[in-house]
Structure 1
Amino acid sequence: MKPDTWHGTELLRHLTGKLYSTNPYADVVAHTLWALVMLRPSTLDPRTADDLKEAATRVLEEATVSPQSQRELEAIIYALRMIHRG
């Protein structure tokens, strides 16, 4: 597979399932999800987008991640709103 054909859909789904506050790697997961959404918004199908929004919102409400991760999760939620506008 050529690098320009990789879309990241499976990785996005996998990481969305790992985004919870008791995961000791929650900050790494949040950052990786943020990078994927910013670089490859096309990886977001409606179901994955809904799951990601729910997970990001829950982690933000629990306030267990670093300030940088909080900003990145907020950016993900904002991007999801913009992507699915219309």
Structure 2
Amino acid sequence: MIRNITRQEFARRLGVKRTKFHDLLAGGCLPPPRRIGRDLVWLEPVVDAFIILAYGYPMPIPELSAELEHEVREAVMQLHNEKI
């Protein structure tokens, strides 16, 4: 079963504080979240793929739809362009 990852957990996995996380999100340096009710969430494979690509881990990313993979890769490119 695929888990939904909250803002708090995503920030923890990245090792950043809440303000930095929101700056990254506002700057397009994170994949776009999905809204469930009032909450913003990311699918766990999206978070894993983002971390693998953003930090250059030498391992394959989880299988994603073409749309989700594109969103992840765009966010990683934006992150690297911003040099945050």
User: If the length of structure 2 is used for normalisation, what is the TM-score?
Assistant: 0.35
Greater helix fraction, Structure 1 or Structure 2: 1
User: If the length of structure 1 is used for normalisation, what is the TM-score?
Assistant: 0.35
Greater strand fraction, Structure 1 or Structure 2: 2
